[in-house]
Structures are given as structure tokens and as C-alpha cells.
């Protein structure tokens, strides 16, 4: 399962156009996609945040590791679902298309792959903070998936890419900021 996840992430990062064409032709089973792709990725983000306490602290603090893990889990999970529902509404309002929650789950899940992978790497190797800029490559991943996967017309492509990328990248950050402000116990 994890080998398949890694192959998909590498395909989406190295050849997003080709990967999106393959993904557009695949059968869409929402439950299988969530349980075999998105949830394991989110779980790895939370596990990496937990393990990161070993590497960043002189002594292991279980409470701090748990707080870090919970914060990462809620931000990734909530950011994913918030982006899916928000983009589904935007799809109908701004692009005048019929809502399709399942299609958006797949698109946001695959488009977020790089962000999830970078969260894992940055949790384990925080001194490589400059890798956060690599998350901006999501713009290109969304650009390449707009036509073959979402069937966006060329005239609307730029607007689609800007809105979709902004929502995908900003939602987890907003949830993390909200947790930071509203729950002092989760401050790390």
C-alpha cells in the first residue's frame, strides 16, 4: 500500500500531466481512495509529527509529541475536507458546473500529495525549512490536472488554478492557526 502511495506521489511530482491522464481513466472508488491513499498519508503526517519530537528535543516528552501529532492530524484532515467542500461550492458558483463531491475528493487528495509529503519531510527534518517553497509546485500539479481531470476550459484554466491552489494550500494553515489561537494547550 505505501509503495503505491509513493509511486503516485512520485508520478504526480515528476510527470503531472501524464499522471493526471492515467488518473482520469481510473475507476473512482471513493472509499478505497480515502482508506488506501488519503488517510494513510494523513496518518503518516501525524506519525512524523509525533516522531519529530525525538529528533528536535533533548529528551522525549510524550505530551508534547501527542500535542504535535494531534495538531498535525487535525490540520491535515480538516484542511483536506474543508478544501473539498469549499471547492465543490466554488465549482458550482463561479464555474457554473454541477457539484461533484467525489471528483473533488480525488482532485484535492491527489493535488495535496506533495503538501502531505513535504509535511512529513519537514516534521522529521525541520532544519530544511527552505523546502517549504517546494510546496508551491502544487500550482503546476493543479495546472496539469485542470484539463484532463476536471475538464476545465482553457479560458477558465488560470482562474481555476489560482483559486484551487490557494484553497488547497491555505485551508490546513487556517485550521492550524485556529488551533493555535483557540486551544492554548496545543501550542508547541
**Residue for grid cell 533533548:** 58
**How far is Cα of residue 67 from the mean position of the Cα atoms in its chain?**
20
| pLDDT tops 70 at residue 32 | yes
Average the pLDDT over 16-30 and give the result: 92
* Per-residue confidence (pLDDT) for residue 37, from 0 to 100: 96
Domain count, the chain: 1
Residue with the larger pLDDT of the pair 170 and 59: 170
Per the structure, the complete domain to which residue 22 belongs is given by 2-186
Proportion of the chain above pLDDT 90, given as a percent: 77
With 0-12 / 13-18 / 19 or more C-beta atoms within 10 angstroms meaning exposed / middle / buried, residue 103 is: buried
| pLDDT tops 80 at residue 19 | yes
CA distance 64 to 185: 10
Proportion of the chain above pLDDT 70, given as a percent: 98
- Are 21 and 148 within 8 A, CB to CB? yes
Q: Which of 88, 112, 89 is nearest to 101 (CA)?
A: 88
How is 44-80 classified by DSSP, letter by letter? HHHHHHHHHHHHHSSS--HHHHHHHHHHHHHHHHHHH
CA distance 53 to 65: 6
Average the pLDDT over 2-11 and give the result: 93
Cell numbers linked to 75: 490540520
* Per-residue confidence (pLDDT) for residue 14, from 0 to 100: 95
Residue with the larger pLDDT of the pair 130 and 81: 81
| CA 99-102-107 angle, 5° bins | 95
pLDDT tens per residue, range 122-167: 999 988 888 889 999 999 999 999 999 999 999 999 999 999 999 9
**Residue for grid cell 502531505:** 116
pLDDT tens per residue, range 89-107: 999 999 999 999 999 999 9
Amino acid at each position: 500500500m505505501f509503495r503505491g502511495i509513493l509511486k503516485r506521489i512520485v508520478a504526480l511530482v515528476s510527470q503531472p500531466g501524464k499522471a493526471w491522464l492515467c488518473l482520469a481513466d481510473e475507476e473512482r472508488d471513493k472509499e478505497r481512495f480515502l482508506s488506501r491513499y488519503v488517510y494513510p498519508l494523513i496518518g503518516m503526517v501525524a506519525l512524523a509529527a509525533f516522531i519529530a519530537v525525538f529528533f528536535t528535543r533533548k529528551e522525549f516528552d510524550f505530551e508534547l509529541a501527542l500535542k504535535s501529532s494531534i495538531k498535525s492530524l487535525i490540520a491535515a484532515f480538516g484542511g483536506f475536507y474543508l478544501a473539498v467542500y469549499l471547492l465543490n461550492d466554488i465549482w458550482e458558483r463561479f464555474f457554473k458546473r454541477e457539484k461533484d463531491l467525489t471528483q473533488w475528493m480525488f482532485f484535492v487528495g491527489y493535488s495535496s500529495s506533495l503538501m502531505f509529503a513535504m509535511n512529513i519531510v519537514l516534521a522529521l527534518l525541520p532544519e530544511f525549512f527552505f523546502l517549504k517553497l517546494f510546496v508551491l509546485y502544487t500550482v503546476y500539479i493543479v495546472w496539469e490536472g485542470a484539463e484532463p481531470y476536471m475538464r476545465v476550459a482553457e479560458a477558465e484554466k488560470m482562474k481555476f488554478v489560482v483559486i484551487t491552489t490557494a484553497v488547497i494550500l491555505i485551508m490546513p494553515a487556517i485550521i492550524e492557526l485556529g488551533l493555535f489561537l483557540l486551544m492554548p494547550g496545543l501550542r508547541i
